[in-house]
Amino acid sequence: RAAAVGQALPWYWCAWGLAQRAVLCSLLFAVATPGLVAWMPVWVYVKRRERMLMAKGPRWNDSVAETKMMVCALIVMAFVLGCLGYALLHRSAVPLAFIAYLYATMRLYEEAVADARSCYSLYKLLFLRPSTMAAMVQKRKAAKAALDAASFSLPDGVASEVKTTHDEALPKTSWRRAF
């Protein structure tokens, strides 16, 4: 909200967001690690195939994605069918839970990577020089002015929602008392 009216993000927001994302990233990676270890042979094989294709030259760039999709799709289909067959033969729900866990592993891994990237961005923002931050705030003001100038073409209900006042951009609680 503060950036919407040309103010810099307070350092304690960056620090708090950094701490939250670091903890969440650690937890997600910890839960996903056993599943990542199970997927590791597939990833090693796919990366080896990628290097082999890239060694053939730049004309094979499209084939890299196609090969990854084909190999992973075939392995996942064989794994799911194998687990379903085993579950039906042995009348056990454990293989079905394993399928669900490996799916959750991929989702948790994606979220952990996103949190790690966000954590790194907040880290860089936290230790940004004041001169660089001032330049970024000025660029943000210029971009907002350009968007405000173009907002006349929006319908009335939408245009009123786009405008943010200085008071609306301020934090809802006073963090200064906490520090």
For residue range 34-47, what is the model confidence (pLDDT) as tens digits? 999 998 999 899 99
For residue range 76-101, what is the model confidence (pLDDT) as tens digits? 999 999 999 999 999 999 999 989 99
Is the predicted pLDDT of residue 30 greater than 90, yes or no?
A: yes
Mean pLDDT calculated for residue range 156-163: 68
Neighbour tally for 45: CB within 10 Å: 13
For residue range 111-146, what is the model confidence (pLDDT) as tens digits? 999 999 999 998 988 888 878 878 888 888 888 788
- What's the Cα-to-Cα distance from 54 to each of 17, 18, 41, 59, 143, rounded to whole Å? 39, 37, 20, 9, 40
Query: How far, in Å, CA of 137 to CA of 6, rounded?
Result: 6
Mean pLDDT calculated for residue range 56-67: 82
Tell me which residue of 36, 1, 50, 28 sits closest to 163, measured CA to CA: 1
Query: How far, in Å, CA of 48 to CA of 80, rounded?
Result: 24
14 close to 122: Cβ distance less than 8 angstroms = yes
What does pLDDT average to over the chain?
83
Q: Which two tokens stand for residue 58?
A: 């730049």
Neighbour tally for 75: CB within 10 Å: 15
104 pLDDT tier (thresholds 50, 70, 90)? very high
Instruction: Please provide the DSSP assignment of 63-80 as one string.
Output: HHHHHHHHHHHHHHHHHH
